[in-house]
Amino acid sequence: MRRPIVAGNWKMHGTRADNARLIEELLAGHPGRAAAECLVFPPFVYLQDVARLLREAPIGLGAQSVCAEAQGAFTGEVSAAMLKDVGCSHVLVGHSERRWLYHEDDPLVARKFAAAQAKSLVPILCVGEHLEERESGRTEQVVARQLDVVLDLCGVGALESAVIAYEPIWAIGTGRTATPQQAQAVHAFIRERIAERDAKIAEATRVLYGGSVKASNAAELFAQPDVDGGLVGGASLNAEEFLAILAACGSR
Ligand code: PGA
């Protein structure tokens, strides 16, 4: 049985006051023992603050990116050890905004994945295709390449302590969600691709969907057999929305 995850990627939003309010509202509305694991991913500078607000709470903490190097002269970067030190358990790697706006390529994403695991952080590996790649029938090819580079470097066993998020780029922040059938098809493909290396690990790996997930579409996305929860951007900044998405995950 794969326990679903609902993860909130706050991106570059919020202030200390906003975060405190959001966490207070989330804690007030969280059922305590939700069916799904709940995680939030604030900006780096607020991680320690949010870690303190979440102490003892049933909500986990992650970062939005990590440096591929362990330590040293890498101005502006944040290491996996630092993230662990301030209370993170998870980290996003390969989010499409990192890949496309900051030119992070597949090998770098794979090294970030490895750097996270070297410090016992659980990486959430984001994969997904551009609109023109989907329209030219290359979705599976793109997703397979993004996944294979990580599996080649780290081995399929690395997925025992990792999560995958399928996020079609054309659905991120656009209000245009993949249909449940489109999401399911790619999620099933990802699971099959992993199963070519190890069927048991494929069955156990959680694959989240991301891209304009909202309270109004979450339940039908999460009802798909290979969709194990969601990576939520915009809607995670609103406690009521995010809690409704969490509840939708529990009702599948
Ligand atoms: P969105 O973002 O929910 O705002 O589309 C999802 C993501 O980028 O993780």
Residue for token pair 């006051």: 17
pLDDT of residue 151: 98
How far does the centroid of ligand 1 lie from the alpha carbon of residue 172, in Å? 5
pLDDT of residue 32: 86
pLDDT band at 251 (very low <50, low <70, confident <90, very high): low
pLDDT of residue 25: 97
Best mutation site among 212, 214, 216, 238 for ligand 1, i.e. most ligand atoms within 8 A of its Cβ?
212
Averaged pLDDT of the chain = 96
- The verdict on whether 30 is a catalytic residue reads no
pLDDT of residue 248: 95
Residue for token pair 């069927």: 199
How far does the centroid of ligand 1 lie from the alpha carbon of residue 95, in Å? 10
How far are the Cα atoms of 213, 232, 236, 246 from residue 242, in angstroms, in the given order?
10, 8, 5, 6
Nearest atom of ligand 1 to the alpha carbon of 126:
9
How far does the centroid of ligand 1 lie from the alpha carbon of residue 8, in Å? 9
Q: Which residues 6+ apart lie within 8 Å of 179 measured at CB?
A: none
Q: Does residue 244 register a pLDDT over 70?
A: yes
Q: Does residue 252 register a pLDDT over 60?
A: no
pLDDT of residue 45: 98
pTM listed for this prediction = 0.97
Mean pLDDT of 134-153: 98
* pLDDT tens digit sequence for 50-109: 999 999 899 999 999 999 999 999 999 999 999 999 999 999 999 999 999 999 999 999
Find out whether the beta carbon of 213 lies less than 6 Å from any atom of ligand 1.
yes
- Residue 86 has φ and ψ, to the nearest 5°, of -95, 10
Q: Which residues 6+ apart lie within 8 Å of 101 measured at CB?
A: none
124 in Cβ contact with 88 (< 8 Å):
no
Angle at the Cα of 179 (from 25 to 183), degrees rounded to 5? 85
Mean pLDDT of 156-179: 95
Mean pLDDT of 130-134: 96
How far does the centroid of ligand 1 lie from the alpha carbon of residue 72, in Å? 32
Nearest atom of ligand 1 to the alpha carbon of 236:
3
pLDDT band at 157 (very low <50, low <70, confident <90, very high): very high
Query: How big is the chain, counted in residues?
Result: 252
Nearest atom of ligand 1 to the alpha carbon of 211:
5
Q: Looking at domain 5-250, which CATH architecture does it have?
A: Alpha-Beta Barrel (3.20)
- The verdict on whether 187 is a catalytic residue reads no
Strand partners, 126: 165
Find out whether the beta carbon of 167 lies less than 6 Å from any atom of ligand 1.
yes
